[in-house]
Structure 1
Amino acid sequence: MDAKARDLNQIFDSTISFQIPLFQRPYVWQEEHNWVPLWEDIQGLMDHRLRTQKSRTHFLGAVVLEQMRNVAGSIETHQVIDGQQRFTTLQIFMIAARDICHQFESGKYYERFADLVGNKASKVDFEHERYKVWPTNSDREAFKLVHGVGGLEALEQRLQEQPKLHEQNQQVIDGYRYFYCQLALWLHGELDEEPGEQASDIDERLDALWQVVSNALQVVVINLSDDDESQVIFETLNARGTQLLPADLIKNYLFRRAQSEGQDIESLYEQHWKAFDAKFWRKEVKQGRTKRPRIDLFLQHYLALMLREDVRSAHLFEAFKEYVVALEEGDKGFQLTAQPNSIESHLQSLSRYARSFRKFAEPEAGSRLALFLDRLQAVDTATVYPLLLLACDQLLPADRTEFDRVLVVLESFLVRRMICCMTTKNYNRLFIDVIKSLDKRGKINAQVLQEALQANEGDSVRFPTDEELRHSIVKTPIYKHLAQYKIRAVLEAIDLAQEDRKSEVLTLPRNLTIEHIMPVKWQANWSMPEDVAADPEKRLAFNQERNRQLHTLGNLTLITGSLNPSLSNASWGQKRPELCKYSKLNLNRYFHPPKEVEPDPLLEWSEAAIECRGQELYQTAKSVWPYQIAGS
């Protein structure tokens, strides 16, 4: 058995044929689970190439091949024992890339990609040997179609003219469609995070595409010898097992180098790595829609901080190696993070920042950090963790007060943007840029962080003002724009801030539900003025305004789930006493009858009352999430 890492140019550029045998399953990869992650990895590599003019290698997995005796054909032929889904997908992608190059009239890159997906007619004896990969039987007609059609428009025309072609393997056809469209969008710059931020020249983008496909994408090719039992190996590779994590590869890399340098690796392990082998770090935790081992998340945030760039989860090992090599070649690093200059110092640095990261997983009960992390779940972003790592490392334990002030600034920025329904799309780049800004100042504290955040302009990055916050709370039908768990977090924070010395401190249960005080179905018990009801135009305008206002924050509160059914569509005369009787929340003290004001202004719950309460909630929210932190 021979195993070597090879790039796609090394695998496919020669006159060669990879055949997928009959007994293999057909092509089944799909968009969500397979094509999208692969495309995101490739796009990340191409974007990196455009920004830096450097290629970052990316490991795509392994394929197992068995060389066939050359009796049926004239060229070198291998049977694909394992990895046929990956090989087929790569060929579909490169076929799409070839056809895209033809669309842009780039003969040079068209020929290069053509050499990776097909053998020259003069070199083969049989028709199927023209294809670098010859799929299993059920996929062949669809594969031949996309291989020879020449472009997406021609494909759609063929499918329209010959409806029976739809009966071929749809996954092969849909895969071609997907990659062709993504490539076209990327080449036109439409997938850039910020329009115009990268090179717009088509030749530069085509070159980046070629460099990534030919040199950056790598596959471990395992060639079986005559003595290897292909079926046993196939079963072993596909058996259930524990997957190697990027941390395992990094550990191997660091300790092998330490050993070659004659260092005491047992001592290094005990001092700096042993903790990483505990269950705590390998536990899978949820981030976004997926679960990942905690150590993967730490490494991603650590590398983003140390490199000052966004690092994709699939590139952790490669990015770490590049980081080590860059420092060895004289890269001085950055002012606020001590840059390691030896294998031992790399281990020390990992261990040091891991201690900070562990505080985020196990915050002290009742601390400002615990409150911040709880509210961060509502914002639903992990992009702030590199900045948190920096703040924690620089400020704790010496200056906990300043660290807590940093959390207030960061929370104010994030929650204000959430309440104002602003995008989180560019947060990864934003917080890397903020760290760079702090680098220039040479320090991190609440004041400089606030200045760095408020210096940003544009809807995707700016710090919402008090007036914007007020308008979103008082005027915006926020219930229609934000998920309920986000609104619940805002109301819970306001409720906490409304505590006074006379009210008991409550730990809010997690089963509180959001209640519209004026119900969504208000028509039965919440009448409109008679003069409005009699005029169709006034009635329409009244309905529109009421339906907008009842979804604003001023008309929303929290109640227990058991109370909800009896309140839902009741009149204000019935609903108000129930709120006052059963709810102990500070939010709902607002509805208690005032003792000094006559007449009671809340005898009627109207649009004016909603706006008045909205103004009060805004005043509290402004103090919880200030635009200017006290003392700045």
Structure 2
Amino acid sequence: MQTDVRTPLEIFSMPQHMVVPVFQRRYVWTAEVQWEPLWRDICRVAERRLEGVSSPHFLGAVVTQSSSAGMGSLASHSLIDGQQRLTTLQILIDAAAAELEAAEHTQFSQQLTMLTHNPPAFGLDESGVLKLQHENDDRAGFVAVMTAEPPIDYSGLPQSRIVQAHQYFSEQVREWLGSPVAPARAGALVATLSQGLQLVVIALAEHEPSQEIFETLNARGTPLTAADLVKNYVFQQIVREGGSADAAFREHWQELEKSFWTKEVRIGRYSLERLSLFLNHWLVAQTGEEVSTRSTFTRFKSWHEQSGRPMTGVLAAIHQQATLFEEWVHEAGKSEGDLGPVGLFLYRTEAAELEAVKPLLLRLFDVERALPPDVAVAALRDVESWLMRRSVLRRPASEYSRVVAGLIDDLRGVEPHGVAEAVRHSLVRLNRPGTYWPGDEELARELVSAPIYTQPKGRLRAYLEAVEDWHRGYTKATSASGSRVKRGAMTIEHLLPQKWKDHWPVDTLQQQIDRDAHVHRLGNLTLLTQSLNSAVSNGPWNGPKGKRQALDASDTLLMTRGPRKTEDWNEGRIDDRTATMTTAFTETWPAPEGHNPDPIKRTEQEAAGWVMLRDLVATGHLPVGTILTAREGNYEGRSATVTSDGLLEMDGKTYDTPSGAGKEVLGRAVNGWTFWRLPDGGKLMDARQKYLGTYVDRRGLYESFWREVLARIKKAAPDWTQATSPGGSSWITLPYGSSIARYSLAFTVTGPSVDLDFGSADSQANLVEFERFRARRDELEEHFGRPLTWEPLQDKKSCRIRHYRPSGGQITDTDEREELIDWFVSSALRLRYSISAIRNAAQGQ
């Protein structure tokens, strides 16, 4: 038996057959539990490679056994354990290869294909060409998808989990690579998949007892957690340092094995032992790096080796920080009484399911890097404001782990008294849709019409508790008077009932739409100490058994005082109360004065967040009787019909939202606005955007724009290009005269640019050609007439010389269309002329 840590390149580079025996279970991995976490890990490693950092990711262990039953001259091995992860890895590598081939990055594609397919020289049939061979029921689907020609039509393949996995990874790879596919990103992904992953390979000889080893690996005990692995490493190091493992355990670790720390806590859809999660958060607080929970142990080990710290000191710090953290958690769990700043922060962020922020909490209250208390609290309040404002507006949280790590990293070298200012500065600078800090104006504008009741109820209850506390004089972390509302115990009630039609009727469809829209708005919601019975809850506002009287008789909360004084309750009063409650939010979670970032930077999908089908029907943007069809793929042919009530009818059932109907078809959550197709082939999202006035035919804009650019370039330089059909992408390319480079004209996220990209498959040749020009930089820039941006992209496969448009610009800036066309044409011609002058001068020397 041999045990080695190997990369996919080392495992799969040689021609071979690795066979999954017939008795192995079928492929069972799923998107939520395995594919998504794996892809996040791949992305993180690839992004770090783009930054010049090589940090391998550990995938687990596999067991193989050599076999004499190979096909011809090929080596053969049976896969005893680990077939789920190796099958997934092969699928992922093949999906990436297919996407790179479709993007015409053939050399990168071939580097991956050699890991999944045996060379043609062996003369193998279609199934035999694959290096991983399934003998069980997965064979048909695996062979079909792994031998399909790109671009792959998944609808024509056998329906299986393996095919679904291939399609999933294909979509993820395509999104990550972007368009156009930058050679640097393609190279980083290929390097990650071939050399950036590690597996422990236990290789058995043919005569060794594989079944006994398999049973030992799988049938005894439970898998080791990150805490188990860290613990073992910690005490091994203490012994190596000459310390006493027994004494260290009793003094510092024994408390970490009680039930509080072994309890599993939720992280989104997953659960993790609390101690393992704490160690991950503590590690992020130390490193200022995003560390996946699956990489906690490997990063902890490398961090310790790099730090050079005695392990006894590290363990003491972990114990002290863990003790403090446990105190915070117990405080946050109290339902009554006042809370300190940290306890309140923990309660609210846990109600909002914002687990990713805890590393920053640990950094601000680090036992080894103590800050002045007022500084730590001031920073914490800004962080809470940033998080809760985004949560109230339902802004995405997917980038929080990265942002939190970045905020921690920004504190390197900052003096203790300057930490709060540094945190605020970092938060204010965030400007991406997934990260920015919303201002007061945006909260007021968005919440006036937001159906906030649709948010998770624990989160919503925390919002309403903050409003009640505001009424009681709490606008920050300490009380001006009174006591805070009881936490986590109140019921949420609609003042205008959800079932309003019996006692609150209106006449027209537009009035019905308006009333429906107000039901779930902030100003129509309140907390109650006890729930009302359904008759009162859905009854009229006034009268001896009316809702107003019931509220007055049974409730003492200040937030219901205003509604209880009114003679009627209608849409106008809901709007007024929404404005008051929004003020409660902005004062409870204040932002810096004058901070109002441009919300236009949000995506169209976010901007259209609160549009209902009924709105489209009432305004004629979606006619009654319209038949929507499911998107292409496995669900093609399923349809839903738009009803006069603004619902979707499908198979005799009605659905309030397109996402609800889409979930019925797909079997899982889906964005219905992009899932359903209109009769003309467009997406339902198109009708939504037309209703909002945000619809833009970007593809058409790009196509007509680039066609005009090409026409003018051809007129000025007939020898440069004969291209006439630019397509609808945000970029076009023009020839350089050699395969080592190309000119690129593009609308980038930072604005228009004209580049000379050195992006061939030969990274050394790219760098040599780039440096040839950089050696004559002054001469080139003098020819060009202005400074250029030089990007060697060290440790990556490509380099570029770039010219940006200083004033920016986007394809949607129709008023500047002529100026943008002139800029692209003149800049491209000038750069080509300047480059040619340097090349000619070099050839003449």
Contact 1:65 1:78 in 2 (8 A): yes
Shift of 1:433: 3.2
| Pair 1:625-2:589 in alignment | yes
Return the alpha-carbon distance in structure 2 between the equivalents of residues 83 and 462 of structure 1. 42
Question: Which amino acid letter does the alignment assign opposite residue 558 of structure 2?
Answer: N
Return the alpha-carbon distance in structure 1 between the equivalents of residues 330 and 68 of structure 2. 60
SS in 1 for 2:366: helix
Return the alpha-carbon distance in structure 1 between the equivalents of residues 528 and 2 of structure 2. 66
Alignment match, 1:416: 389
Return the alpha-carbon distance in structure 1 between the equivalents of residues 200 and 552 of structure 2. 68
Alignment of 1:73-222 (within 5 A): 73-123=72-122, 130-153=129-152, 155-156=153-154, 160=156, 166=158, 170-188=160-178, 202-222=182-202
Taking a change above 3 Å as real, the CA distance of residues 100 and 567 of structure 1, as seen in their structure-2 partners, is: same
| Pair 1:526-2:494 in alignment | no
Return the alpha-carbon distance in structure 2 between the equivalents of residues 398 and 18 of structure 1. 56
Question: Which amino acid letter does the alignment assign opposite residue 526 of structure 2?
Answer: T
Taking a change above 3 Å as real, the CA distance of residues 508 and 206 of structure 1, as seen in their structure-2 partners, is: same
Alignment match, 1:354: 322
| Pair 1:461-2:435 in alignment | yes
Return the alpha-carbon distance in structure 1 between the equivalents of residues 535 and 517 of structure 2. 24
Alignment of 1:379-398 (within 5 A): 379-393=352-366
- What are the superposed Cα offsets for residues 198-220 of structure 1, whole Å, 9 maximum, x if unpaired? xx863222221222122222222
- What are the superposed Cα offsets for residues 583-628 of structure 1, whole Å, 9 maximum, x if unpaired? 12222233455xxxxxxxx222233433343344344444433336
Q: RMSD across aligned C-alpha pairs, in angstroms?
A: 3.4
Contact 2:329 2:343 in 1 (8 A): no
Structure 2: unaligned runs, 5 residues or longer: 474-478, 594-845
Shift of 1:459: 4.7
Shift of 1:389: 0.6
Contact 1:56 1:318 in 2 (8 A): no
Report how many residues are paired: 579
Return the alpha-carbon distance in structure 2 between the equivalents of residues 19 and 460 of structure 1. 44
Taking a change above 3 Å as real, the CA distance of residues 73 and 502 of structure 1, as seen in their structure-2 partners, is: closer
Return the alpha-carbon distance in structure 2 between the equivalents of residues 276 and 309 of structure 1. 24
Identity of aligned residues (%): 32
| Pair 1:490-2:480 in alignment | no
Return the alpha-carbon distance in structure 2 between the equivalents of residues 319 and 354 of structure 1. 19
Alignment match, 2:559: 587
Return the alpha-carbon distance in structure 1 between the equivalents of residues 409 and 41 of structure 2. 25
Alignment of 1:257-296 (within 5 A): 257-296=237-276
Taking a change above 3 Å as real, the CA distance of residues 437 and 99 of structure 1, as seen in their structure-2 partners, is: closer
Taking a change above 3 Å as real, the CA distance of residues 513 and 393 of structure 1, as seen in their structure-2 partners, is: same
Alignment of 1:531-542 (within 5 A): 539=508, 541-542=510-511
Taking a change above 3 Å as real, the CA distance of residues 15 and 541 of structure 1, as seen in their structure-2 partners, is: closer
SS in 2 for 1:514: strand
Taking a change above 3 Å as real, the CA distance of residues 367 and 221 of structure 1, as seen in their structure-2 partners, is: same
Shift of 1:269: 4.1
Taking a change above 3 Å as real, the CA distance of residues 546 and 297 of structure 1, as seen in their structure-2 partners, is: same
| Pair 1:578-2:550 in alignment | yes
Shift of 1:550: 4.0
Alignment match, 2:570: 606
Shift of 1:10: 1.5
Tell which deviates more after alignment, 80-89 or 256-265: 256-265
Taking a change above 3 Å as real, the CA distance of residues 12 and 506 of structure 1, as seen in their structure-2 partners, is: closer
Return the alpha-carbon distance in structure 1 between the equivalents of residues 32 and 582 of structure 2. 41
- Structure with the larger RCO, 1 or 2 (CA within 8 Å, 6+ apart): 1
Return the alpha-carbon distance in structure 1 between the equivalents of residues 370 and 237 of structure 2. 33
Tell which deviates more after alignment, 5-14 or 556-565: 556-565
Return the alpha-carbon distance in structure 2 between the equivalents of residues 183 and 243 of structure 1. 30
For residue 491 of structure 2, the aligned residue among 513, 518, 521 is 513
Contact 1:66 1:81 in 2 (8 A): yes
Taking a change above 3 Å as real, the CA distance of residues 481 and 24 of structure 1, as seen in their structure-2 partners, is: closer
Alignment match, 1:301: 281
- What are the superposed Cα offsets for residues 495-552 of structure 1, whole Å, 9 maximum, x if unpaired? 2333379998586374533222122443443356xxxx5xxxxx55544444434433
Return the alpha-carbon distance in structure 2 between the equivalents of residues 462 and 145 of structure 1. 44
Alignment match, 1:195: none
Tell which deviates more after alignment, 360-369 or 120-129: 120-129
- What are the superposed Cα offsets for residues 13-63 of structure 1, whole Å, 9 maximum, x if unpaired? 123221222222333333333322222222222122112x23222222222
Question: Which amino acid letter does the alignment assign opposite residue 32 of structure 1?
Answer: E
Tell which deviates more after alignment, 256-265 or 237-246: 256-265
Taking a change above 3 Å as real, the CA distance of residues 608 and 171 of structure 1, as seen in their structure-2 partners, is: closer
Alignment match, 1:48: 48
SS in 1 for 2:486: coil
Contact 1:396 1:403 in 2 (8 A): no
Shift of 1:135: 0.8
Question: Which amino acid letter does the alignment assign opposite residue 225 of structure 2?
Answer: L
Return the alpha-carbon distance in structure 1 between the equivalents of residues 65 and 400 of structure 2. 47
Return the alpha-carbon distance in structure 2 between the equivalents of residues 128 and 448 of structure 1. 59
Tell which deviates more after alignment, 555-564 or 10-19: 555-564
Contact 1:412 1:627 in 2 (8 A): yes
Return the alpha-carbon distance in structure 1 between the equivalents of residues 199 and 350 of structure 2. 37
Return the alpha-carbon distance in structure 2 between the equivalents of residues 518 and 457 of structure 1. 37
TM-score relative to the length of structure 2: 0.62
- What are the superposed Cα offsets for residues 262-285 of structure 1, whole Å, 9 maximum, x if unpaired? 444444444444443444333212
Question: Which amino acid letter does the alignment assign opposite residue 442 of structure 2?
Answer: E
Return the alpha-carbon distance in structure 1 between the equivalents of residues 390 and 264 of structure 2. 29
Shift of 1:385: 0.9
Taking a change above 3 Å as real, the CA distance of residues 173 and 238 of structure 1, as seen in their structure-2 partners, is: same
Taking a change above 3 Å as real, the CA distance of residues 395 and 75 of structure 1, as seen in their structure-2 partners, is: closer
Alignment of 1:302-317 (within 5 A): 302-317=282-297
SS in 2 for 1:515: strand
Taking a change above 3 Å as real, the CA distance of residues 575 and 390 of structure 1, as seen in their structure-2 partners, is: same
Alignment match, 1:559: 528
Contact 2:465 2:487 in 1 (8 A): no
Taking a change above 3 Å as real, the CA distance of residues 523 and 275 of structure 1, as seen in their structure-2 partners, is: closer
- What are the superposed Cα offsets for residues 125-174 of structure 1, whole Å, 9 maximum, x if unpaired? 88865332211143333333223223233x44xx64xxxx63xx622322
SS in 2 for 1:363: helix
For residue 214 of structure 2, the aligned residue among 229, 234, 242 is 234
Shift of 1:292: 0.3
- What are the superposed Cα offsets for residues 414-466 of structure 1, whole Å, 9 maximum, x if unpaired? 22333334333332233333334444542266565445434444554343333
- What are the superposed Cα offsets for residues 553-592 of structure 1, whole Å, 9 maximum, x if unpaired? 2222123554141322322212111110011222223345
Return the alpha-carbon distance in structure 2 between the equivalents of residues 624 and 39 of structure 1. 38
Taking a change above 3 Å as real, the CA distance of residues 299 and 71 of structure 1, as seen in their structure-2 partners, is: closer
Structure 1: unaligned runs, 5 residues or longer: 190-199, 329-340, 534-538, 594-601
Return the alpha-carbon distance in structure 1 between the equivalents of residues 233 and 419 of structure 2. 36
Question: Which amino acid letter does the alignment assign opposite residue 577 of structure 1?
Answer: Q
Contact 2:19 2:77 in 1 (8 A): yes
Shift of 1:472: 4.4
Taking a change above 3 Å as real, the CA distance of residues 612 and 19 of structure 1, as seen in their structure-2 partners, is: closer
* Structure with the higher fraction of residues in helix conformation: 1
Alignment match, 1:23: 23
Taking a change above 3 Å as real, the CA distance of residues 271 and 8 of structure 1, as seen in their structure-2 partners, is: same
